[in-house]
Structure 1
Amino acid sequence: MAAVYDEVEIEDMEFDAEEQVYYYPCPCGDRFSIDLEELYDGEDIATCPSCSLTIRVVFDEENLPELKEEEDADMDTGGPGRVRLDAHQHRHDCREK
């Protein structure tokens, strides 16, 4: 793994509550990012999508915001324009044909 460019306190990072992602400006002009879920999983390296630099995020897990539950997690539609049928409904529909 490449060397870490810098260590950054999480309080110095910008948090996007909607996306659940922390951001920090990168010298290349883009920004480092790390997901809140990654932080809860013990990951502490934020990456920049435009260059090879990485930073180590310094944080205490007990001070992290709560993870936002995925909306409609139990409503799997199978993608755009598709509706997921349960096994009972599928068998019923097949018998009618």
Structure 2
Amino acid sequence: MSYDDVEIEDMEWNEELQSYTYPCPCGDLFQITRDDLRLGEDIARCPSCSLYITVIYNAEDFADTASKKNVEHSKQQPVAVA
């Protein structure tokens, strides 16, 4: 059972850690990366203790942009150039 459920909007982006963070009661920070979110992971863990939180977010907001581009390209029709 997670320590808490936290909305992604309540977390902060940490450039140094390259992850979203949220304060842990132990004094450290719960952390989750954008890649984790893209993969559907919703658990942010604290590196200093055993606590973790469930992150509430919209998976579509973190969908892989490369996949979206590939889908868009596949919809385009080929053009012959003479």
- With normalisation by structure 1, the TM-score equals 0.59
Question: Greater relative contact order (Cα 8 A, min sep 6): structure 1 or 2?
Answer: 2
Name structure 2 gaps, 5 residues minimum. Answer: 66-82
Aligned length: 65
| Further displaced range: 14-23 or 51-60 | 14-23
Q: Secondary structure at the match of 2:2?
A: coil
> Would you tell me which structure has more helix in proportion to its own residues?
2
Residues of 2 paired with 1:27 and 1:66: CA distance?
32
- With normalisation by structure 2, the TM-score equals 0.70
CA deviations 1:58-95 (Å, max 9, x no partner) are 0002224877xxxxxxxxxxxxxxxxxxxxxxxxxxxx
CA deviations 1:3-37 (Å, max 9, x no partner) are 20000000000013565310000000000000110
Residues of 1 paired with 2:14 and 2:64: CA distance?
13
**Identity within the alignment, %:** 55
The change in CA–CA distance for 1:66 and 1:17 in structure 2 (over 3 A counts) is farther
Q: Secondary structure at the match of 1:8?
A: strand
Pairs within 5 Å for 1:11-90: 11-17=9-15, 19-64=17-62
Residues of 1 paired with 2:33 and 2:12: CA distance?
12
Across the aligned residues of Structure 1 and Structure 2, the Cα RMSD in angstroms comes to 2.1
